[in-house]
Amino acid sequence: MPDGQAHTEGGGITPIEALHAACARNAPLEIVQADLVGEEPFARGRMIEIESGVLMIEEVQIIGKMAKFAKQTPVVGFFRFHNRLFEFFSKVVSAQKPIHLNRSTIVPAIDLKLPTDITEGQRRNVYRIQVAALRDPIRVEFWHEVPPDVEQMFIQNGQTAQGDGVCDAYKGGEDANGFLLPPTRVADWEGQMIDASDVGLGMNLNKCRLNQLKLFDRGWLRFSLPGDAEGSMTFSVEVRQVRSVREGVVRAGMFILETNDRWAHAAKVRRLWSFLTEWQRKVCRVIDTTAPGAG
């Protein structure tokens, strides 16, 4: 059975089934020429339909401009479904094809050969926008799902972990309105965001030891974007990369997990992506001191 057909853990859905389900939601797809993975920004568009062995993508753009792919160009594509990132290889079947979204709206689209071998994607392969050069660094707070130093943990309501244990503390989660809330204790680590995409975030965490953070650990991440009037946002995340930068500083790459209220989650992701694309536009203009946070 090909890899793209094999059932994976968690829900029993195959990668091919995930692609069809994501397309039915008109989920975004990111593609890049196969030999430029990780080097060039991804072209991004929404999946429209799957028909006759092709996957149709609407209005593919690269950071605010139309993207052009020649016929037969080999590409790598990334999409996400629930809390999984998928990756596949394909080729462009047709480019700049006009399609009718409705009776009055015509948009350009491209057709990709329907992939048959879809694998779990790697966050490090997705093009990440560098944010370390922002004039105002993006400060992050991270709460580990399991507190790293239980005996030293203080709860904001005055309780400590000793005696009652962490079970009596608010552990963080999603409220009835779909808002994701971190635990009420102080953050386990603070740091600075280094790079970001709409699927994951990279950061340096201060006062963190390498043995305190492991691959696939989960937690909550809170930060505020420069110039974002809506205030801070919190994401549920899973550690996908961790390494020591220097004594007391750990570099962590984290995958953004989808919450139960996917509409509220999507709204936050749009805020993040809007900021990242605007910042990338400013970077592409070489120097523009009017950029949010630009030095």
Strands (E) across 52-177 are located at: 54-62, 65-66, 74-81, 84-100, 106-113, 118-120, 129-130, 139-144, 173-174
Give the per-residue pLDDT at 150: 52
Give the per-residue pLDDT at 280: 76
Give the per-residue pLDDT at 139: 96
How far apart (Å, rounded) are the C-alpha atoms in residues 225 and 218? 22
Long-range residue pairs from 182-185, CB within 8 A, at least 24 positions apart, any chain: 182/141, 182/143, 182/220, 182/222, 182/234, 183/143, 183/220, 184/155, 184/156, 184/157, 185/143, 185/147, 185/153, 185/154, 185/155, 185/156
Instruction: Please report where in the chains the tokens 């006759």 appear, as a residue.
Output: 52
- The pLDDT mean for the chain works out to 78
Question: Do 3-125 and 129-284 share a fold?
Answer: no
CATH of 3-125, one of 1.10.10, 1.20.58, 2.30.110, 1.10.3470: 2.30.110
CATH number for the segment(s) 129-284: 2.40.10.220
Tell the burial category of 15 from Cβ atoms under 10 Å away from its Cβ (0-12, 13-18, 19+).
Answer: buried
Give the per-residue pLDDT at 157: 41
pTM of the model: 0.63
Instruction: Please report where in the chains the tokens 């707070």 appear, as a residue.
Output: 141
Q: Where are the domains of the chain?
A: 3-125, 129-284
Give the per-residue pLDDT at 156: 41
Give the per-residue pLDDT at 44: 82
Give the per-residue pLDDT at 283: 67
> What is the helix (H) or strand (E) element at residue 194, kind and residue range?
strand 189-196
Contact 92, 154 (CB under 8 A): no
What does pLDDT average to in each consecutive run of 10 residues of the chain (295 residues)? 37 84 88 81 85 88 71 90 86 77 69 90 69 90 79 43 40 77 89 89 93 91 92 91 91 88 84 84 54 45
Does residue 174 sit in helix, strand or coil? Answer: strand
Q: CB count, 10 Å around CB of 11?
A: 12
Backbone torsions φ then ψ of 3, nearest 5 degrees: -55, -40
Backbone torsions φ then ψ of 264, nearest 5 degrees: -65, -40
